[in-house]
Structure 1
Amino acid sequence: MRCHSGTDTFTERLCRALNAQGIRAEITWLPHRAEYAPWSVPVPKPPTWANVVHINSWLPPRFVPPGLPIVVTVHSSVHDPALLPYKSRLQALYHKHWIHPIEAANLARAHCVVAVSHYTAAQIEASFGIRDIQVIHNGIDCQAFAPVARTAPNRPFRLLYVGNWSARKGVDLLGPIMERLGNCWVPDDCVALL
């Protein structure tokens, strides 16, 4: 499901990289409503050439093609108790009663489970009892995000914020960080990517 987040970027980069390596891959995007109203979206058929399905852990099981090996990637664990302060009561209920059973079904069916960090892997193990999780960190495009050579000390620098605009991602810390840095940065050089 396209959600305009880092998970979309991950999926697009993975597909491009696989195709560049000669491994045929394509993305079947579902509308966002497929997450919370899966019955309202027709189930797409997998391409006839497909021999592995790679899914996000939140994909409702009705969309997982039967008969093919499944790789499930977990991008974050909303079941982490540390995230409770960042959730509304409704979100907490949604995660517990809707997302948790979906993830449990997908993880139980998976031939391979991948997490994007050791922390996420530990949270999935704690929440679902799943072991043997492979950790593959999200990559960074080093061509697009190369460090800038500093030619003079105390030169203003650029700050790159990558993440959803939420306190859970630390956006609430940007203001205090900028204040503490004082005049060693220039406001025009602050870039935020959502």
Structure 2
Amino acid sequence: MFIDAFTGEETGPITRAKTDRSYVVRLDHPPLDMLSGCSWRFLLQLAARRWNVDGEQLAGPSRDQLVCAARHHAMWLLRTHTRMTLPRIGKLFGGRDHTTVISGIDAHIERVAGVRPSPFVWTHQAVRRYSRLLVDGKTVAAADKALGLGLTDRWRCPRRRELMRQAMGLSRQRLVLSALRRKAEVRP
């Protein structure tokens, strides 16, 4: 079902023309009803899914940037959308202290405000863009720079092996082509 965000009227089946308009809202899954209480388990999974990490890692000791960002986001969600106390939230995250929860919430707010950089999250679009850069002739280092990736970001890619094989194949192909061109230039 699709709803026109301005008029509130139900629109018919989705078409390409309708998706190009910014005012068509898909309501297959209704938005969160924040007037009723949210389950803390749901909020933890929501944060884990947003940052593309496993929900069980949130309570673990990992200091990986992505896991920490997801943990901070989950702390903020629990504090703003439930009536949990800071010590209770800390217990959910592996027995952390309430001051750690405060620090995590502050870190999330800084990330949202743009004061603190957010770690790179691999989405399908990012993988496609990375692959396209490699196909277009960029080296792995140039593709990393174009997406703003660090070495650990590349290692987190779910299709890393496939992309590196693709890069190696394209690199070999370019070497063979350049050797053939040089050979052709040498012959009169």
The TM-score bracket by the shorter chain reads: under 0.3
Higher normalized contact order (CA 8 Å, seq sep 6+, divided by chain length): 1
Structure having the higher Rg: 2
Give 1 or 2: higher strand fraction: 1
TM-score, normalization by structure 1: 0.23
